Structure 1
Amino acid sequence: MNAINKAQLGCDELDVLRGLAALFMIVNHAGYNLVEPELYSHSIFDLVLVVSSYAPVLFFFATGVGAGIQSTYKLKNFNWYPVLYKTAVLLLADWLGFWSLGIAWGIDFLGFIAISGVVLEFIRCSKNPIISCLVGILTFSLFRYAIGPHLDPVTENNFITNLQHWVFGNIGVQGATYPLSPWMVYPLWGYIVGFYIMHYRPIIETHKVKLIVTLICLALLPAVLSIVAERRGFSFIRWGTVGVGFYIRSFAVVLLSLAFVWIISALSSLTAIKHALSLRGTSSLAVVPIHYYIIYLVSLVFVEKDLNTFFPLILVILALSFWLAKGTNSLGNMMRQSLNPQVGTIGLMVLYIPVAFLTFYYGFQASSLSIEYKTLGQLLLSLLFVLRKP
């Protein structure tokens, strides 16, 4: 089996994993925007919010899995053009979100994925990528939970202090939703998984049931530990700084998600679900602005924010978000086939510049128009991924 075919096999599971992460993200954001706060504690809805709050964990993990899969057929030398291209596009998309809120810059979800991509490229080109990942996982875990709590909790708002808090993750930093520690653990872990998926593909294909059972059994340990942590009052917060309870439970969520992905992939009777859930190519980026805008529109139309309204609505939001995201990817592929990549890229950037300016302008004017321009700008940037050079 050649490298390209092997990579394609690995991408099937990766596409489902991205789709599952997107599903979690949409449900979580819709839940907090379309339901009154006093209903958050409802038993079923509380469970929905808790499980879906691990969406960024799955997205960052999937970023690592993709890098690990690609590493098996790339040359060892540095390949910086596509990395820097992707980093620039993601940062521009991330900053559009800040500009729409009247904030000059910051590092949010898409920005962290951009940083992860740079880190993973260094990992790929290191002498021993797997050892590098393991050292990184240990280091970032120790930074957050062994060293961070003992650092002086300086709250001065200057670059050096904020950088320290962002690296160690002990105190939240305004404008930086995801601190380096421990969030970088997930792409590093994902890289290891993606690497071994490709190296042991023949074994995985013939022992899927054993793999699924093993993943479920492995998930039991962090699941049980998280229950103990919850009963002992450990923190499960993830905004600004990540509580140890959330961190422990996240390993169970990832392992169970992997088991789910292989169940979906292994059973032919679930092929329809697999195709519906899969997000390939730029659709996994396009789904971010698309779902935000759909939820925004729904929140304007539906005044009643109760659970009876939410559960039917979320099905419609999910279906529409996935359909439009896949449509964006298809549009990008058609553009790539019919346009010269350089011409298409220049054209999209010419469109993006005024849209970015209007996002910035209306964002600092606190106008709702900034939401429309932000969404349009992020979709234009999504199309740039399809047109980039291989």
Structure 2
Amino acid sequence: MGQPIKVTSLHMTRYMTRSNADTADKGKVQGHWRELDVLRGIAAVMMIANHVGVKFLSPQHTESGLTEAVLFVGSFAPVMFFFITGVGAGIQSGQKKQASRWFSVINKVGILVLADFLMAWSGGSWWRLDFLSFIGLCILILECVRNSKSPVVASAVGLGAVSLLRYLIGPIAHEFGYDQQIWGLSFLLGTEITPGVSYPLAPWLAYPFLGYLVGVAIDRFRSRVEEQRWRAALGLLAVAIVPGIIAVYLALKGAVFFRWGTVSLAFYIISFTALAVCVAFSLMLCSNLCPQFGPRFLSLKGISSLAIVPIHYFLIDTGFWLGLRAIQPAAYYWVMIAILALSFFLAARMDRIGSAVRQISEQGLIRSCLLGLLTASALIILVTHQTHPPTAMVAKTIGQLALCLLFVLPSALMPLPLSRAKA
């Protein structure tokens, strides 16, 4: 039988330390939160449903019936994407801070801004602060938050500040006309439509700030959330009821729900219902009851979440140039499903191409080729956007997909490793 093993306090301490380390390592091995990829997919579905309807439906069908409800739900897509940007940053908050990380951040922001430039040039304008540029701005601001002494406090203060700026200070400034007299104030307060700006700072920055707080919580309590995902999902659905009730009350009082140019208070309030419901659905879709559906059919991994933006625009514009206009609701749903399926398929292929490009040893040559393709696309857009819009549309898509591939390459600004520098 052998001698009995004496369990000392030292043994217990070592066991507990090893157990805690194993638990922590399990959380780290997962790399990223797969529910975040599903959230990106949900946001993409909302985006495509909205854009297809706005582009193809006849006007009378966008303001009545089921299609109006679908378009309204789809209008929360930017809310979702900005929130997801914050969640991703929050999940990474536990990583070690490195000065070289700024090179990667600047590279990403530059790529997103250039992608928006191509979009603006193809439409005949020189610059717009649109969807992708605003995501780049969010990444930049969140990196500053991450490097602050108290990132959680900074995010919470930022969330409260932009809400107060838009719905308390903003209306007062607007009443006295300050937002029209002082340059840049309308962009900050979001009380007036600013030319060239689709997303003013207030209240749109509230969503990445909130996302950062949620991401930090997920990073710290990931195992608990995953073990009790149904309880967490039901809790989120219960929380979603509160802003939903407030929004319904405002609607009964005649409030208007809109987000274009400026964001109404009613839309802002109900947007938190949309966020809570979508996060709850992502938890459910990754549960044991449907382990394959969410991750397999809705997940957007890697650069696919970026590539799906130019891809779905290309498909929609192609349909428009082929004469697909003023369609009936029944046709709209079929067109939407087709564009959704094709967009997700092509976005997944782009992610695979990106993975293959990342494995090529001659990264400098690949970067030069992609930059050359980007430059050629930009020149074609500038020459043809007025005389032949379809050509400009194709060039814009090619240029934006080249930027997607540049996204996976190491930044040209990154310092070389010491061994390579010596060589």
- Establish whether TM, by shorter chain, passes 0.5: yes
Q: 1:237 corresponds to which letter in structure 2?
A: F
Partner of 1:212 in structure 2?
233
Structure 2 CA distance for aligned equivalents of residues 15 and 120 of structure 1 = 19
The 3-state SS of whatever aligns with 1:87 is: helix
Deviation at 1:233, TM superposition (A): 1.8
- Picking from 197, 200, 219, the partner of 1:179 is 200
Change (3 A) 1:143 1:364: farther
Decide whether aligned partners of structure 1 residues 3 and 32 sit closer, same or farther in structure 2, where only a CA change above 3 A counts. farther
Q: Which residue of 2 aligns with 1:153?
A: 177
Select the residue among 40, 49, 55 that pairs with 1:27: 49
Find 1:242's aligned residue among 263, 285, 303.
263
Offset of 1:9 from its aligned partner?
5.4
The residue number in structure 2 matching 1:265 is 286
Shift of residue 240, structure 1, vs aligned partner? 0.7
RMSD: 1.9
Q: Which amino acid aligns with 1:126?
A: S
Question: Distance between the aligned counterparts of 2:214 and 2:344, measured in 1?
Answer: 26
How many angstroms apart in 1 are the aligned matches of 2:31 and 2:235? 21
Separation in 1 of the partners of 2:93 and 2:144? 11
Letter in 1 for 2:47: M
- Tell me which amino acid in the other structure corresponds to 1:285: L
d(CA) in 1 for partners of 2:122, 2:280: 38
Tell me the equivalent position of 1:164: 185
Residues 1:335 and 2:357 aligned together: yes
Identity of aligned residues (%): 37
Distance 2:238 2:282 in 1: 16
Alignment of 1:353 with 2:375, yes or no, is yes
**Structure 1 runs (4+) greater than 6 angstroms displaced:** none
Instruction: Structure 2: state its 5+ residue gaps.
Output: 1-22, 415-423
Tell whether the 8 Å contact from 1:7 to 1:70 is kept in structure 2 after alignment.
no
Match of 1:294 in 2: 315
Deviation readout 1:110-153 (Å, 9 max, x if unpaired):
00000000100000001110100000001000110001111133
Comparing 244-253 with 306-315, greater Cα deviation is found at 306-315
Work out the CA distance in 1 between the residues paired with 2:269 and 2:60. Answer: 27
CA distance in 2, matches of 1:3, 1:135: 32
Amino acid at match of 1:204: V
Say if 1:4 and 1:379 are closer, same or farther in 2 by CA, change over 3 A.
farther
CA pair 167-4 structure 1, distance change in 2 beyond 3 A: farther
Deviation (angstroms), 1:96: 0.7
Retained in 1: the 8 A contact 2:59–2:326?
no
The CA deviation at 1:5 is: 5.2
Is 1:138 paired with 2:160? yes
Q: Spell out, residue by residue over 1:335-365, the C-alpha distance to the aligned partner (whole angstroms, 9 max, x if none).
A: 1112433322222111111111211222255
Q: Which moved more, 1:378-387 or 1:9-18?
A: 9-18
Structure 1 residue runs without a partner (length 5+):
none
Query: CA separation of 1:193/1:275 partners in 2, compared to 1, >3 Å: closer, same or farther?
Result: same
Contact 1:35 1:310 in 2 (8 A): yes
Q: What amino acid is the match of 1:276?
A: F
What displacement does 1:242 show? 0.4
Query: Which range moved further: 335-344 or 122-131?
Result: 335-344
Name 2:61's counterpart in structure 1.
39
2:421 is matched with which residue? none
Kindly tell me the number of residue pairs found equivalent between the two proteins.
387
The answer (yes or no) to whether the contact 2:27–2:223 under 8 Å persists in 1 is: no
Partner SS, residue 385 of structure 2 = helix
| SS of alignment partner, residue 389 of structure 2 | coil
Q: 1:270: Cα distance to partner?
A: 4.6
Matched, 1:49 2:71: yes
User: In structure 1, what is the Cα distance between the partners aligned to 2:130 and 2:393?
Assistant: 17
**Residue 323 of structure 1 pairs with residue 336 of structure 2:** no
* Offset at residue 275 of structure 1 (A): 1.3
Task: Output the CA distance in 2 between the equivalents of 1:77 and 1:8.
Answer: 25
Report if aligned partners of 1:17, 1:278 keep a CA contact under 8 Å in 2. yes
1:182-193 pair list within 5 angstroms: 182-193=203-214
Question: Which residue is equivalent to 2:247?
Answer: 226
Kindly provide the amino acid, as one letter, of the partner of residue 32 in structure 1.
V
- Superposed CA offset, 1:307-361 (max 9, x none): 1211111111100000001111111111111243332222211111111121122
Give the counterpart letter for 1:367 in structure 2.
P
Distance 1:177 1:368 in 2: 24
SS at match of 1:373: helix
SS at match of 2:232: helix
User: Residue 133 of structure 1 aligns to which amino acid in structure 2?
Assistant: S
Residue 375 (structure 1) aligns with: 397
Task: State the AA in 2 paired with 1:19.
Answer: G
Could you tell me which amino acid in structure 1 is paired with residue 62 of structure 2?
Y
Deviation at 1:79, TM superposition (A): 2.5
1:197 equivalent in structure 2:
218
Q: Cα distance 1:5–1:331, how it changes in 2: closer, same or farther (>3 A)?
A: farther
Counterpart of 1:72 (choices 85, 94, 119) is 94
Q: Aligned AA for 1:217?
A: A
Shift of 1:40: 1.5
